[in-house]
Structures are given as C-alpha cells and as structure tokens.
C-alpha cells in the first residue's frame, strides 16, 4: 500500500532528510556528469546530504570522504514510499517535496546540456523554479546552441547564464525572446543578440550583462530612448575595455548631472551621472558610470 511521504514517515522508513527542518530552499543540481545529478538537502564544511536523481545511481550511505561526512539517497527507493501520479519517479519526488516542505525558494543549477528526452521530467516542471542558473564553465564538451537557450524560453522568470562560446561557435547569436523578468549574464554576453533586445524582452524588469562593448551599450540606450514604455526599471552593464563616453553616447542627447563631490571620498570622484530621456513620453532615466568597475547602470525614475 502506498502512503504519503512526510517527516514522521521519513524517520520511520529510513534516515531521509535528516536535516528537513532546514529545508527552506529546494536546490536541484544538474552536474556536468549527469550520473551525479542531485537534490542538495544540506551541505557545510563537514557534512553533505543529497538525493541522487540518476535512476541507476548507487548512493553512498554514511560515507566519509576527505573528512566530509556524505549521505546519499536514491530517488527510486524514496518514490517507493509515496503515491505516484507521474510517470517519472524524479518528477514524482520533486512535486511531493514541494507539497510537503513548502519551500520559500526553488533553485535549479544546470551545468550540462539538457536532453529533451532523458530530462523530460525537468522540462515538465521548470516553471516552478524561482531561480535558474545555467553554466557551461568547466564543461569543454558543451558548445552553446540555440536549442540550449530555447529550453528556458517563456518558462523561467529569473535566469542567470554563464555561457562561454567555444571554438567554432564564436559567431553564434541568440535572437529569440526569453520572456523572463530578470536576466543576468555573467562572464560573456557575446552570444546574446543586442539588436532590438528591449523590444524583444518586453517582460523584463531587470537586466545585467557582463563583457559588453561600448557599442552594445549605445545600442541598448538608443533602444530605450526610441522605444515604447516598458516594465524595465534597471540595467547594469559591465563594459570591457571602456575608453570613451563618446562611443556610448553617440547620437544620444545626454545631460551630465553636476554634483558637489566629497573631497575625502576618492570613489565619488570617479562617479559620473547623466540623464537621458525617452522620446515617446519624456520619461527620464539616469545613466551612472563607475570608472573603477567599468560598470554602467541605468535606472528609470
């Protein structure tokens, strides 16, 4: 007979979720080696507890590795103790954990290419995640393609990308709408097509890009100035090798904000602020330069 999984049931059946009282977050990690995919339950310097998501995984139980106590559980074994409305045991367990523990935050970390067939369970539930982090750092076999990004289009509200272009794919550009509310790109933004970005991402409230050019920044500012009202309220753009404001403000009427600087604060002396205005409604935004960080910040007022 099947029964519902809860904390008391877990304690009776096996040492599952020993740290359940700490479960304010659901953390699912797809490793570069798919056999090590897991739900991370608890981790600190001396101990680690997780559920192995690979259906053929052989969990280590109560094992010490490099002075760290490791406890692993099998998703297949755990699902034996719960009702199963879904075909895939991983989907069953994740749904059940969400119902049982009422997580405040649900996070997905993806460090490998998603397989539309083998990872179908994940695509079925990807909308539940509050935060998604996707990275091919350290995975030399993963060359980003359009399909890798399409997996998340229209499905995720808050997404972080740390994707490096490989040899043979350095001219790749993704020009479709992700339709997310918050987009963060770390390390390298060259894969993102900047043309018409703001019009494409009309649901975006926050934009963070790294390793962009002065020309890219000029395009984004120009799109904002010439575009329609949007929900975007801030953009943070880290410019690589910034040399001149003239390139960034080419064909843009920007008005510098002159403020009395603190003589004792060297950081303030490197800060410059400008106002720009949207043509359709006269909306004002502030562009701030932080010279030390080569960071440009845009916020609508």
Q: Is the pLDDT score of 12 beyond 60? A: no
Q: Confirm whether 275 is domain-assigned.
A: yes
Q: Would the pLDDT of 228 be above 70?
A: yes
How large a percentage of the chain has pLDDT more than 90?
53
Distance of CA 118 to the CA centre of its chain: 22
- Span 266-291, mean pLDDT? 83
Q: Where are the alpha helices (DSSP H) in 102-212?
A: 120-125, 146-150, 197-200
Residue 55 belongs to a domain: no
**DSSP state, residue 240:** T
pLDDT at 293 over 60: no
Is residue 292 one of the residues assigned to a domain? yes
pLDDT of res. 7: 40
Q: Is residue 100 part of a domain?
A: no
Q: Which pLDDT does position 278 carry in this prediction? A: 94
Rounded to whole angstroms, what are the CA distances from 258 to 90, 109, 221, 269?
A: 58, 44, 21, 11
Q: Would 17 be classed as within a structural domain?
A: no
Q: What is the pLDDT of residue 299?
A: 60
d(CA 3, CA 83): 6
Rounded mean pLDDT, 54-73:
79
Q: Is residue 145 part of a domain?
A: no
Tell me, what's the pLDDT at 168? 66
Domain range for 250 is 211-301
Residue 217 domain-assigned (yes or no): yes
How many structural domains are present in the chain?
A: 1
Q: What percent of the chain has pLDDT over 70?
A: 83
* Residue of higher predicted confidence among 61 and 143: 143
205 within a domain of the structure (yes/no): no
Q: Give the predicted TM-score (pTM) of the model.
A: 0.85
DSSP state of 215: H
> Do the strands 68-74 and 47-52 form a parallel or antiparallel pair, or are they unpaired?
parallel
The larger pLDDT score, comparing residue 10 to residue 196, is at: 196
Helix (H) or strand (E) holding 300: strand 295-300
Residue count of the chain: 301
């Amino acid at each position: 007979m099947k029964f519902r999984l809860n904390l008391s049931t877990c304690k009776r059946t096996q040492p599952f979720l020993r740290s359940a009282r700490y479960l304010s977050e659901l953390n699912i990690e797809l490793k570069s080696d798919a056999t090590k995919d897991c739900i991370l339950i608890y981790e600190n310097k001396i101990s680690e507890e997780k559920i192995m998501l690979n259906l053929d995984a052989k969990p280590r139980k109560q094992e010490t590795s490099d002075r760290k106590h490791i406890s692993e559980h099998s998703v297949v074994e755990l699902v034996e103790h719960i009702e199963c409305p879904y075909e895939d045991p991983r989907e069953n367990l994740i749904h059940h954990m969400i119902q049982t523990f009422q997580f405040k935050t649900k996070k997905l970390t993806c460090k490998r290419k998603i397989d539309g067939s083998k990872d179908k369970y994940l695509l079925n539930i990807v909308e539940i995640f509050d935060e998604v982090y996707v990275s091919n750092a350290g995975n030399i076999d993963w060359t980003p393609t359009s399909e890798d990004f399409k997996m998340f289009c229209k499905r995720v509200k808050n997404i972080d990308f740390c994707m490096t272009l490989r040899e043979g794919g350095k001219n790749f550009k993704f020009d479709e709408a992700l339709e997310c509310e918050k987009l963060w790109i770390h390390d390298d933004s060259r894969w993102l097509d900047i043309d018409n970005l703001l019009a494409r991402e009309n649901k975006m409230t926050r934009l963070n890009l790294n390793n962009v050019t002065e020309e890219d920044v000029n395009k984004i500012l120009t799109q904002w100035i010439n575009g329609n009202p949007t929900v975007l309220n801030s953009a943070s753009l880290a410019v690589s090798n910034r040399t001149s404001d003239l390139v960034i403000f080419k064909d843009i009427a920007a008005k510098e904000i002159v403020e009395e600087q603190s003589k004792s604060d060297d950081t303030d002396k490197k800060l410059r602020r400008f106002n720009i205005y949207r043509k359709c409604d006269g909306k004002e935004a502030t562009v701030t330069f932080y010279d030390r960080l080569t960071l440009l910040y845009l916020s609508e007022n």
